[in-house]
């Protein structure tokens, strides 16, 4: 989902990536001050994208898109889900051989 700023994003908080950084589909790991946006598609899928703070190009976070759902029949508030995604992506990654792995949405279930 590499592209320019479309103006259809739900929220754009600026975060500092955890030590292991954030993994994207297009360019691999990115680090530093980042903005995260969530976009709901017409089919109910949530796309999660990230970019360097104030940059133009957005990159899909590894594990995106995600489909909210579960026992509640798929009902969700996008703002609440966005906050959970931001919290997830700012937590340190798993430690492997003494190094922190990048965070992603792999294994994230809304």
pLDDT tens for 54-80 read 899 999 999 999 988 644 445 568 888
The pLDDT score that the predictor gives to residue 76 is 65
Its domain, for residue 85, covers 14-100
Question: What is the C-alpha separation between 23 and 25, in angstroms, rounded?
Answer: 7
- Considering the domain boundaries, does residue 19 fall inside one? yes
Both tokens of 21, joined, read: 């950084």
Residues 6+ apart with CB under 8 A from 63: 48, 104, 105, 106, 107, 108
Confidence tier at 23 by pLDDT (50, 70, 90): very high
Whether residue 5 is contained in a domain is answered as: no
Whether 34 is covered by a domain: the verdict is yes
DSSP bridge partners of 100: 95
Compute the average pLDDT of residues 83-95. 87
The answer to whether 31 and 17 have CB atoms below 8 angstroms apart is yes
Asked whether residue 107 is assigned to any structural domain, the reply reads: no
Is 6 contained in some domain?
no
Share of the chain above pLDDT 70, in %: 75
Q: Pick the more confident residue, 43 or 76.
A: 43
Q: Tell me, yes or no, whether 69 lies in a domain.
A: yes
100: three-class secondary structure by DSSP: strand
Total domains, the chain:
1
Instruction: Note whether residue 8 is domain-resident.
Output: no
Q: Are 29 and 102 in contact (CB under 8 A)?
A: yes
User: What does R_g of the chain's alpha carbons equal in angstroms?
Assistant: 13
CA–CA distance, 85 with 31 (Å, rounded to integer): 17
Q: Is residue 106 part of a domain?
A: no
Bridge partner list, 30? 22
């Amino acid at each position: 989902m590499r592209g320019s700023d479309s103006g259809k994003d739900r929220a754009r908080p600026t975060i500092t990536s955890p030590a292991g950084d954030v993994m994207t589909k297009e360019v691999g790991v990115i680090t530093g001050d980042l903005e995260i946006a969530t976009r709901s598609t017409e089919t109910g899928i949530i796309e999660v994208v990230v970019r360097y703070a104030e940059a133009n190009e957005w990159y899909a976070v590894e594990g995106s898109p995600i489909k909210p759902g579960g026992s509640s029949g798929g009902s969700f508030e996008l703002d609440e889900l966005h906050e959970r995604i931001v919290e997830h992506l700012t937590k340190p990654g798993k430690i492997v051989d003494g190094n922190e792995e990048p965070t992603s949405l792999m294994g994230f279930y809304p």
